Copies of this chain bind each other. A is one copy, B any other.
Amino acid sequence: MARTATYDREDLIKRAKTVFWKRGWAGTSLKDLEAALDTRPGSFYAAFGSKEALYKLTLNKYAQEGAEKIDALCVERGPLGALQAYPRILVEDPTMGGHACMLAKTFLELKGQDHALAEVANDLLVMIEKKFADLFRSAQVNGDVAVHYDPETLARRYQSDLLGLRVLAARAPGQAQDIARDMAAELGRLGPGVQSD
């Protein structure tokens, strides 16, 4: 029974994530949540405490799924290959595209109101950035990225470009696919044998 309860809870968090991701914090009404979770009015309060507590769980779930995706890509394609494939996957996968990055959206919606969830989103973006830095570092060990680059700087720029790309993906998916391809090609030119200035 305990296992079933955990499963249901995970499923509810995933469903809430989908609606929060699309509609944002303020744009998601209790009615929207009840419809998405298929619960009776207000009964998710009993399960999650508050809309904010549930939103925080969905942010963590979102970031965790992103991190797992990156890990899986790394196993499949190595560190540089993962960094090259990730932008394309983000803009092409219909379950990922369309609504830009949930962490960036949340941060932008709530930072100006000093809402605690903006800080949660920012911390998770920093966690993902560290993951990118680890990949660039591994790619240097592999000899795929020249050692004179600073992995933290590369990771920061990569994440910044990726967030812009995902805004474009929500506006014009085809154009975003072209840029994802260019980003992959540029990453391929960070190798030690390539002229850089």
Contact = CB atoms under 8 A, between A and B. Distances in A.
A178 B162 contact: no
Contact of A108 (B113, B161, B170): B170
Centre residue among A111, A165, A197 by max chain B CB count within 10 A:
A111
Interface stretch (A2-10, A50-58, A137-145, A152-160): A152-160
Interface string A111-153: 1110000000010010000000000000000000000000001
Nearest to A152: B175
A165 B161 CA distance: 7
A189 interface: yes
Interface majority SS (helix, strand, loop, mixed), chain A: helix
A77 interface: no
B27 A27 contact: no
A99 B112 contact: yes
Given A112-B99, A156-B179, A167 B23 contact: no
Interface of A: 21-27, 99-100, 104-105, 107-113, 122, 125, 153, 156-157, 159-165, 167-168, 170-171, 175-176, 178-179, 182, 189, 195, 197
Given A156-B175, A171-B122, A178-B153, A24 B163 contact: no
A189 B196 CA distance: 11
A82 to B, nearest CB: 19
Given A24-B112, A178-B153, A104 B197 contact: no
15 contacts: A21-B112, A26-B26, A99-B112, A100-B108, A104-B108, A108-B108, A108-B167, A122-B171, A125-B171, A156-B178, A160-B161, A161-B161, A163-B163, A163-B164, A164-B164
